C-alpha cells in the first residue's frame, strides 16, 4: 500500500494549487479536476465552497 499524502501543488497551480494537488494524489490530469470544480461551481456554487474549504484544510506541498 502506498504512503500517499494530499498536498496543495506548488508546481501545478492556478490559484491555490488545490486542483493540482488532488490531480497528483489521484494520478489524473489536473484539467479534469478543474473542470469538475467549474461544473460544480456553475451548478449551485458548491464547487466554490468545496474549493475554499480545501484551500484552507489541505496543507502546502513540498515540491
Total domains in the fold of the chain? 1
Residue 35 lies in a domain: yes
Model pLDDT, residue 1 = 57
50 assigned to some structural domain: no
Q: Please list the residues that pair with 8 across neighbouring strands.
A: 60
Structural domain of 18 = 8-40
For residue 4, the model assigns a pLDDT of: 83
Q: What is the pLDDT of residue 61?
A: 75
- Is 13 within the bounds of a domain? yes
29 in a structural domain:
yes
CA R_g for the chain: 11
In a domain, 51, yes or no: no
Distances (CA, A) of 44 to 20, 23, 39, 53, 62: 23, 23, 9, 16, 33
Measuring CA to CA, which residue among 60, 49, 62 is closest to residue 16?
60
The predicted model scores a pTM of 0.82
Amino acid at each position: 500500500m502506498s504512503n500517499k499524502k494530499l498536498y496543495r501543488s506548488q508546481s501545478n497551480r492556478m490559484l491555490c494549487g488545490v486542483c493540482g494537488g488532488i490531480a497528483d494524489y489521484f494520478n489524473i490530469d489536473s484539467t479534469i479536476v478543474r473542470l469538475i470544480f467549474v461544473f460544480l461551481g456553475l451548478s449551485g456554487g458548491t464547487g466554490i465552497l468545496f474549493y475554499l474549504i480545501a484551500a484552507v484544510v489541505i496543507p502546502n506541498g513540498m515540491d
